[in-house]
Structure 1
């Protein structure tokens, strides 16, 4: 089974997250949203883990939601690995570039990781071209131009009292408004 993995904080889930899942549907059999308990690169404020899970479930874009202990793609891949399951991480250009160009401290580390999963990459804020030797593990996804849509922007607009509802799936707008209006 080909499993698309969309990992993130989803603080809150946005139309860009939903568009990534929709674009990946033709390449995979199921879409799983993964919320790591801990994040290696950020501290979270806003919605609780349970609230973020509920928002993801309300969208209807994902087959299921899972919680992982690790926050890095390789940790998540190892937690989700099952016999017969092929993992495809769904991400934007920015995340793909971080994963593929990170200094893992040892030669061949990224190649070994990409034996465990492949990448489905949406060009976001610029075109993405993977390194030649890794192209066989990276596929491009086409999504509408949603460069201005981010969880950070949703939270900023709510705090500033600016229009934001068009940035999130309609099914979560009311809940997001309540959560992110809390002081």
Structure 2
């Protein structure tokens, strides 16, 4: 993420860039990872888990690339994908059935042994709040270091999320963004030690565009994993309802 603010995702002047081929955001994230390891000592004793929450309607290759990249940058042991049940920010939209979204996520992640899919959100009754997801994950992994992966576009909204102050004590937030999208962490008011921003080129793909293409009968191959393409086709997801015949 090309963030112009002095956020932890950029290298400081006293830290040389060991690989000019890598973006400053990526190097900055690795620099902070090294500092955290140094402060913690033997970091191998602590499991490092990424949590990627999302509607996944449908999950697409951009989600998978983002999870893989964050796992590499932060040396995560695994990434848990958590499809939302009733997403609080999308109550005004007709979201695909939770079971379909869960199964598409399982299909999409099946080939990566470090990817896991959790049902905690879709099995929990009521509206889905991130703090509930984090509390459940902390209960399941009391000793792990948690990294919540989210879109950079929501970073400015984090301080307005339910029980925001509690979130910082449970997980480190990693905002992922498509190239050219800038986030000013100072302006967002988030605690700088708890939030990083990194750039993921493949995030130019969007679930909204995939749904639009599927509805219009346009191909979605290579935008989503092959198994998800087949699932969408088999179950008729996102198709425009047939026009009613009069007379």
Structure 2-normalised TM-score? 0.63
Stretches of structure 1 lacking an aligned partner (at least 5 in a row): none
Q: State the distance in 2 between where 1:3 and 1:181 align.
A: 32
Q: What residue in structure 2 maps to residue 31 of structure 1?
A: 79
Task: Report the alpha carbon displacement of residue 6 of structure 1 after superposing the two structures with TM.
Answer: 0.7
Q: Deviations over 1:123-169 (max 9, x none)?
A: 2361223227611111233311432x221211111112233223212
Q: State the distance in 2 between where 1:35 and 1:133 align.
A: 25
Structure 1-normalised TM-score? 0.83
- Is the counterpart of residue 66 in structure 1 residue 118 in structure 2? yes
Q: What residue in structure 2 maps to residue 50 of structure 1?
A: 99
SS in 2 for 1:115: helix
What pairs with 1:97-136 in structure 2 (closer than 5 Å)?
A: 97-100=156-159, 102=160, 110-124=164-178, 126-131=181-186, 134-136=191-193
- Is the counterpart of residue 167 in structure 1 residue 233 in structure 2? no
Instruction: Determine if contact 1:96/1:119 at 8 Å carries over to the other structure.
Output: no
Counterpart of 1:11 (choices 57, 64, 70) is 57
| Structure number with bigger Rg | 2
Q: Deviations over 1:93-120 (max 9, x none)?
A: 11222214x276xxxx634321111111
- Is the counterpart of residue 78 in structure 1 residue 126 in structure 2? no
Q: What residue in structure 1 maps to residue 213 of structure 2?
A: 157
Q: State the distance in 2 between where 1:25 and 1:12 align.
A: 21
Q: State the distance in 2 between where 1:76 and 1:37 align.
A: 11
SS in 1 for 2:184: coil
Q: State the distance in 2 between where 1:176 and 1:145 align.
A: 21
How many pairs align? Answer: 177
